[in-house]
Amino acid sequence: MRAIILAAGKGKRLQSEMFDIPKFLRRVKGRALLDYVRESIDFIPEKDTVIVVGYKKEHVIENTPGEYTFVTQQEQLGTGHAVLCAKDEFTDYDGDVLVLYGDMPLIKRETYMSLIEKHVSESAACTILTAVTDNPLAYGRIIRMDGKITDIVEQRDCTPAQLKIRELNAGVYVFKSRLLFEKLRYLKNDNAQGEYYLTDVPKLLIADNLKVESYTVGNINEIVGVNTPEDLEFCEQHLDTGH
């Protein structure tokens, strides 16, 4: 098992420019957001973990000790493009890869391990971390038919009916590495954001009748990502209580 941590974003809504640091180094309980994420996947060796950096990348690299490999996303063209930037590091690798975000400090180690366990036990092409809630966050929706995932729709692209769906895509995945990088080449940016969504890779796998599974986290708080000062405060509170 290898991992890709996405840590290239600027964090405009978190006022990163005012603080002159990338959002992944913003601190919660005295530690950088990225530190919590790295600790949560410490069952994957550092040498097998690639961190995608971009905005103020030197700061991230300097403040991230260990044997990590860093790759640069020069332009912010979406999550799919960010993962594609790591392609050269996986040329000779044919195993599974966990793709996660450097600004989600509340996801527990046990959740990542359970997601991976589900992926392996089901021999899936992709396994998606989902959460079910009556108060949906600004996340994509999981579309199912007869219990099987048939689509994932980003919130901005949802119809009014789809916005009522309670199962959310947390944006964390395990992929068969070879299939991931093969499908990334076919991404299009014809969506509300004009970006290349990683979300579209599972859809391409589904279109090829490949197995896409999910693991649903029990605590909705775990999937909160830090995009605003309010999110940062939320994480402060919930790390206090062991989330």
Q: Residue 53's domain spans which residues?
A: 2-240
- pLDDT at res. 135: 82
Cα–Cα distance, 144 to 167 (Å, whole number): 10
Domain count, the chain: 1
- Give the model confidence (pLDDT) of 82-105 as tens digits: 999 999 999 999 999 999 999 999
CB neighbour list of residue 88: distance below 8 Å, 6 or more residues apart: 71
Show the low-confidence residues of the chain (pLDDT under 50): 241-243
The CATH number given to whatever domain includes residue 183 is: 3.90.550.10
CB-based contact 243:222 (threshold 8 Å) = yes
CB neighbour list of residue 25: distance below 8 Å, 6 or more residues apart: 32, 33, 34, 59, 60, 63
Q: Kindly report the pTM of this predicted structure.
A: 0.94
Residue 227 C-beta-side C-alpha neighbours within 13 Å: 7
- Give the model confidence (pLDDT) of 155-179 as tens digits: 888 999 999 999 999 999 999 999 9
CB-based contact 215:118 (threshold 8 Å) = yes
Task: Please give the positions annotated as active site.
Answer: 13
